[in-house]
Amino acid sequence: MHELSLMENALQIAEDEARRSEARRIHRLTLRIGEMSGVLPEALAFAFEALAPGTMAEGAELVLETMPVQCRCRSCGTDFHPATAIYECPACGQVSAQIERGQELELASLEVSR
């Protein structure tokens, strides 16, 4: 389960940022997970519950935001959400493999207190 190491890294980044702002406690972490990131939100939440005790994020709320896949057509420049696994542009019908969003895993925000 690679989600355990991903959450371990996310918690480390969150604690580093909290310390930089002289916070003592993390109340909420928001992570954005792309639909194509290969990360299972349920496994990430489970990892958070296992790793948060004893950290600045103990008792914190974990918010997981799923980011849909968004492609850009290389032929006509249209941004679109693919309806199937074949990323066909709805405007011109060309197949596009240019993924603009949906593969990310990022720490989007922190709510902390001093």
Residue 106: which of 44, 53, 54, 55 has the closest Cα?
Answer: 44
Q: How far apart are CA 57 and CA 38, in angstroms?
A: 24
| Residue 1 pLDDT greater than 70, yes or no | no
Q: Which residue has the higher pLDDT, 7 or 83?
A: 7
pTM: 0.83
Per-residue pLDDT of 31-70, as tens digits, reads 999 999 999 999 999 999 999 999 999 999 999 999 999 9
Residue 10 is encoded by which pair of tokens? 């996310």
- Residue 83's pLDDT is 83
